[in-house]
Amino acid sequence: MASLVLLGGYFLALVQPGMLGWDPLYFAMASATCQVLAIPARLVLQNGLSELAAFRRDQSGAIRRRTVGLIAGSGIAMSTAITFIGQWEGLRTEAYRDVVGIWTVCYGETKGVQPGDRYSKAECDAMLAREILAYEAALDRCLTHPVPVGMKIALVSWTYNVGAGAACKSTLVRKANAGDLSGACNELPRWNRAGGRVWAGLVNRRGAERAMCHQALKEAA
């Protein structure tokens, strides 16, 4: 079983949801589950169940006080966020101009990017993880109403795409803070433009974010 978990994680890391005909949300959830289970599976394969028991008893890295966001504080949530956001941003290891002419690299990174910049995939993955933490923290400064983890992932994906300033000034955040979480989810499809034009990629991304948002509310109910 441990071997199957590791093989499943390797397989999902090499493919995209479209290649399997899977819904992006379920692909992200499957990938995140394999990533989280990979650590105990590797311990079982290498050292047996006794090592896994010792791993579970070890509290040296436990978070004693809630000082981080929902995504930052959960390995499953972070893995899901990386997979979900990464698939929409797309990976480009060499700097390029985006649809509105801004120099971009990796998973949509624009800060300080210059023509000719190159990064490895590992560097891009680390960059995306740092950006998710930063965007969640920025969103948390204006999103004051508690939301389910899945909704938070969807909103951080949206914030990563449109910017924290625009997100915090939005009707979406105002509705969420007023307790209208379903209404907040329904605001996502309105953010489908770049450079004044509606883009099919943004329509699809907003639809997936909205679906994740509502699914999280349904599961939390």
Catalytic residues: 89, 98
Residue for token digits 């910017």?
163
Q: Sort 134 into a burial class: Cβ within 10 Å, 0-12 / 13-18 / 19+.
A: middle
Helix (H) or strand (E) holding 194: strand 193-194
Cross-strand bridge partners of residue 97: 103
How far is 134 from 101, CA to CA, in rounded Å? 24
Helix (H) or strand (E) holding 106: strand 103-106
C-alpha distances in Å from residue 94, one per residue of 16, 104, 107, 141: 20, 8, 11, 33
| Helices 75-89 & 200-220 angle (0-180, nearest 10) | 160
Strand extents, DSSP E, 39-98 = 92-97
